[in-house]
Amino acid sequence: MATHHEEEENLDEKKLHDTEDDDGEEEDQNWDDWKTDGEEEEELEGSKELFFCLFCDSVFSSCSPLFEHCASAHHFDFNAIKKTHNLDFYKCIKLINYVRSQVAENRCWSCGMTCQSKRDLQNHLHELVNFESSMLQSDDDKYLKPILQDDALLYSFAEDVEDADGDDISTDPKELVNLNQFEQISTDDESCSDRYPCRLTNPCENGGKEVASASDRANQIRDINKNYFGSYSSFGIHKEMISDKVRTDAYRQAVLENPSLLRGAVVMDVGCGTGILSLFAAQGGASRVIAVEASEKMAAVATQIAKDNGFLQSGFPRSSGQHDGVIEVVQGMVEDLDNATHIQPHSVDVLLSEWMGYCLLYESMLSSVLLARDRWLKPGGAILPDTATMFVAGFGKGGTSIPFWENVYSFNMSCIGLEEVEGAARNPIVDVIDSCDIVTPTQVLQTFDLLTMRSDQMDFTAKVELEPKSVTPTNNSTGSKPEITWCHGLVLWFETGFTERFCSEMPTNLSTSPYNPKTHWSQTILTFREPIAMASSKVTSEKPAAVGTNACPAVSVQSRISIVRAVQHRCIDISMELTGIGSDEHGSESGDALVWVYSISLSTSVTNNQETEPELIELNFG
């Protein structure tokens, strides 16, 4: 087989020869070279290099779309493998030829399973689990010989793979356990090629329409994860989370002030980020900490941080004064660790994770934590936190922007405030609301027991009844009409508990309530199109009036709220149905149901080709 350098020289000679031929044709133009459309297409096919997919019959004109197709349709991310495992030119050639040889025998290149047919193999293909085992098979000089005759991929891939020299963190690959390929994150401004693995239900067997469909789906997945994994590769968001004292202190207290729970325990930290919770666990006396992180960049960062602080698990002795290394960083999604031989099933004593998103369930990370619980937590093991509770209350005019615009340097600009409220009814926000603007008592919306709940219980519908807060009458208010309270919307927040069940020495509660110090989660605000009038006692109306108006205020508002995981990955849908309950001297009557439906989605700003930190969630009116 010719060397890479010789191939380049041959290509240069070919290009020079083609150029000379082109020049000759320009000097001697005549009708002898006239060709039909069919002949021209045949000549074009003959003159272009064709790149054949490693797994199916798809054909491409260059390496880039081929590798994108292999990653999205067949779970083979060549660029990520090359980068993660520092493969040189010859190991890349061996890998390509090894994969082609295995596919030719309907055998999975990753796990070695032999399938009955090509279609069965494509249905079976999965994310890489144990790369070291696959490399032992492929690192044979026999795979330097092409499996596919005139395989253009073998001498073109090196020119097509982007060099990620812009990464600031360099980590010895032996220190980082890589179980699969997720994203190839570059700190260069021009690239962001994050990829979230997704098993395609319709395998692609040819280069027809299905290839375009797979490409479209891959682009959609890439867009979603550009917001998700890309944002968590930004140090800014980690600084924001660590700087959230309510959040970080709650976890630190739960871990360090319950020594009987952590001392000598095997801990798994799901979504470790910088590794701050893993460091707490190591500091608290854990015998082993398995820090799982999907982002390739942040896994490398967490590895370096653990190493710098003397906590990284290694085989060489530590210098005086440093701790024994107990942290093992595993790069990959927890969903892909099931075949990891070094993590035995039900071997974890404590499952630790900061999984909460806006409105508690946004990002859908809880399902990953529950999966880790079922696969690796010992019977009787602990999960931190072990409870989560969602709350709801009504808020008044002060929770909107109306008061600000009513008096701007003595000028009335309330028209702007009214327009902003209309927009908020379509696009509610995640923001901090002042506790003095809460106009109803707080009600529990939903509770979760993380030790026993099922994943499908993340989707729920709950009913609550909200009444106005009791208003102390003034001296002059005897016999006057009850004071009317205007409810402009509902506000949601959550708490997570590190309860006495596991934290017997020092239970802890992490609250995002507007009555407590603010957190980076803020609260989720759902604004009504029209405010609802409420009164704590009955109001006599001279004539019939709609419940919830000034003439007939509601004594309570019945709310039916549903929160479910959306079709779009990592998003949730919120539906809200409201019924005003009125009361007059003849008894109670119900108003018409008022229905709003919202869908939560992440909004990310990109300025000058640089991805900024995630903005507040946008809840789109449906």
Catalytic residues: 354, 363
Query: Is the peptide bond prior to 385 cis by the omega test (within 30 degrees of 0)?
Result: yes
d(CA 173, CA 229): 21
Q: Which residues pair with 377 in a beta bridge?
A: 348
Q: Are 590 and 604 in contact (CB under 8 A)?
A: no
* Helices 235-243, 209-232: inter-axial angle, 10-degree rounding: 40
Beta-sheet strand order (sheet of 377-384): 177-178, 327-331, 288-293, 266-270, 348-352, 377-384
Residue 505: CB partners within 8 Å, gap ≥ 6? 257, 258, 259, 260, 261
d(CA 462, CA 460): 7
Residue 454, φ and ψ in degrees, nearest 5 = -95, 160
Alpha-carbon distance values, 157 to 15, 109, 192, 314 (Å)? 19, 19, 20, 35
Burial class of residue 274 (count of CB atoms within 10 Å of its CB; 0-12, 13-18, 19+): buried
Q: Which residues pair with 161 in a beta bridge?
A: none
Q: Are 521 and 388 in contact (CB under 8 A)?
A: no
Q: Which amino acid is at 505?
A: E
DSSP strands (E only) in 172-287 = 177-178, 266-270
Q: Which amino acid is at 518?
A: K
The two tokens of residue 434 are: 């002042």
d(CA 230, CA 192): 7
**Closest C-alpha to 99, from 52, 60, 40:** 52
* Helices 245-256, 276-283: inter-axial angle, 10-degree rounding: 30
d(CA 8, CA 388): 61
C-alpha atoms less than 13 angstroms from C-alpha of 408 in its C-beta half-sphere = 10
